[in-house]
Every structure is written in C-alpha cells, then in structure tokens.
Amino acid sequence: DAGVIQSPRHEVTEMGQEVTLRCKPISGHNSLFWYRQTMMRGLELLIYFNNNVPIDDSGMPEDRFSAKMPNASFSTLKIQPSEPRDSAVYFCASTLSPTGGRGYTFGSGTRLTVV
C-alpha cells in the first residue's frame, strides 16, 4: 500500500498566482480530508469529502480556496489568487468511513510558500 500520496512536496509561488495541490487517497477509502498546519493555529480541517461528495467545508478560509474530488482516487485543493498568509503545510488524509478508533491516514504534506 503506497499510502496517501500528495504532490508537490514543496511549492513556492508568487502572490496572486493560482496554486493547485493534489492528493491520491488510499485505495478503498471513501472519505478524504484536507488540513492546513500553521504555527499559530495548528492543524485545521479545511474540508472533507465522503464518497466524492463535499460534506463539510466550514473550515475553508475564504472564497479563494476551493476543493474538488472528481473521482474516488483524486482530489485537488486550489487557491486562487494566493496570498502570503496562505503559506503553510497542507495535508491530505483518507479513511474508510465510519472512522472509528483507527483514525485517518495522512499524506506527507505539501509545504506551500507564497512570496
């Protein structure tokens, strides 16, 4: 099992540019989550999908952020336009719902730097 795969590992972009982060969940998992980690706020849940349908996007900071899951094996998180305050590590995670005590499996993250 390759685990949750995120790409790219690092992204440096200029303010105002569009950024797309990608995630491939574990095969067979039916729930996918996007988190953001910052020093100030720790790990924040941005949005999660169940069976490719967005269930809760209350953590998405503003309209510049959007996420899609066109099929069970792929999801994207897009920021347009990007701003320096979006700099953070973005994690994708997946699980077989209901999660229960086994929790999620996380990817290695994408470190985004907006200059």
Q: Contact with other proteins (CB under 8 A): which of 8, 55, 61, 80? A: 55
Q: Kindly state whether residue 74 participates in binding other proteins, applying the rule CB under 8 A.
A: no
Question: Of the two residues 80 and 97, which places its CB atom closer to other proteins in the complex?
Answer: 97
Q: Kindly state whether residue 29 participates in binding other proteins, applying the rule CB under 8 A.
A: no
Contact between 4 and 23 under an 8 Å Cβ cutoff? The reply is: yes
The encoded tokens of residue 92 equal: 């994708």
How near is the Cβ of 92 to other proteins at its closest, in Å? 9
Please tell me the distance from the alpha carbon of residue 37 to that of residue 19, in angstroms, as a whole number. 17
Residues in 81-110 at the binding interface with other proteins, rule: CB under 8 A: 91, 93, 95, 97-109
Contact between 17 and 9 under an 8 Å Cβ cutoff? The reply is: no
The encoded tokens of residue 96 equal: 């077989």
Question: Of the two residues 15 and 55, which places its CB atom closer to other proteins in the complex?
Answer: 55
- CA dihedral defined by 49, 60, 41, 25, rounded to 10 degrees? 30
Please tell me the distance from the alpha carbon of residue 26 to that of residue 15, in angstroms, as a whole number. 32
How near is the Cβ of 16 to other proteins at its closest, in Å? 28
Contact set with other proteins (CB under 8 A): 4, 31, 33, 35, 41-45, 48, 50, 55-56, 91, 93, 95, 97-109
